[in-house]
């Protein structure tokens, strides 16, 4: 199982899911609800169902589901994964997740993946910043066409 917001899909997301898939037979991806993402990170640009649809279309993903708004561990209880994969930048602590899952009857191993190479397109915030910085150039080209 891998989790995330997956707002504006980028190469970092694809690499994360490819590496997660290598750790098991089936990869279930939990896409954060809009309300959960707003609480933990930022309000997504793309709506939750659109993000789930895009993630489900990626080759490494066997199934993509929306998480639960009230309780992020409820999906873990329902799916009962053997492994939960975290990205290098996810703020959750491995041990805390393992303890919460065990308390709910799910024996799971949590694996944190390492950071992939440096890129200016491997993070949603980086992409948005780049678009904002270049918007005047982009609009000027459109007007001159």
In the block, which residue shows the tokens 């440096």?
118
Please tell me the predicted confidence (pLDDT) of residue 129.
72
State the pLDDT at residue 101: 96
86 located within any domain? yes
Place of tokens 């001159």: 144
Residue range of the domain that includes 43: 2-116
Would 38 be classed as within a structural domain? yes
- pLDDT value at residue 40: 83
What tokens were used for 77? Answer: 């209880």
pLDDT of residue 132: 77
Nearest to 7 by CA among 35, 36, 44, 40: 44
Q: What pLDDT is stored for residue 107 in this prediction? A: 96
Number of domains in the chain: 1
Residue 97 belongs to a domain:
yes
Read off the CATH number of the domain in which 94 is found: 3.40.50.620
The CA dihedral of 58, 64, 70, 76, to the nearest 10 degrees, is -110
142, part of any domain: no
Please check whether residue 71 lies inside any domain of the structure: yes
**pLDDT values of the chain reduced to their tens digit, one per residue, 145 residues:** 999 999 989 888 999 999 999 999 999 999 999 999 998 888 999 999 999 999 999 999 999 999 999 898 999 999 999 999 999 888 899 999 999 999 999 999 999 998 876 655 556 667 677 777 777 776 676 666 5
Helices (H), 24-69: 34-40, 48-56
Token digits of residue 136: 């005047």
51 is a domain residue = yes
Question: So what's the pLDDT on residue 143?
Answer: 67
Pairing of strands 83-86, 63-66: unpaired
Question: Domain for residue 139, yes or no?
Answer: no
pLDDT of residue 125: 66
pLDDT, position 89? 84
> How wide is the angle at C-alpha 56 spanned by C-alphas 55 and 62, nearest 5°?
120
The answer as to whether 145 is a domain residue is no
Q: What is the pLDDT of residue 144?
A: 64
């Amino acid at each position: 199982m891998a989790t995330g917001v997956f707002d504006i899909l980028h190469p970092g997301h694809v690499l994360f899911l490819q590496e997660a898939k290598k750790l098991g037979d089936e990869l279930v991806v939990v896409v954060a609800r809009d309300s959960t993402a707003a609480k933990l990170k930022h309000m997504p640009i793309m709506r939750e169902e659109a993000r789930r649809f895009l993630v489900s279309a990626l080759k490494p993903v066997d199934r993509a589901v929306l998480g639960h708004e009230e309780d992020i561990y409820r999906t873990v209880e329902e799916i009962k994964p053997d492994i939960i994969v975290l990205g290098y930048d996810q703020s959750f602590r491995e041990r805390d997740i393992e303890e919460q899952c065990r308390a709910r009857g799910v024996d799971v191993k949590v694996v944190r993946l390492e950071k992939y190479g440096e890129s200016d397109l491997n993070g949603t915030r980086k992409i948005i910043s780049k678009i904002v910085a270049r918007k005047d150039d982009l609009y000027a080209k459109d007007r001159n066409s």
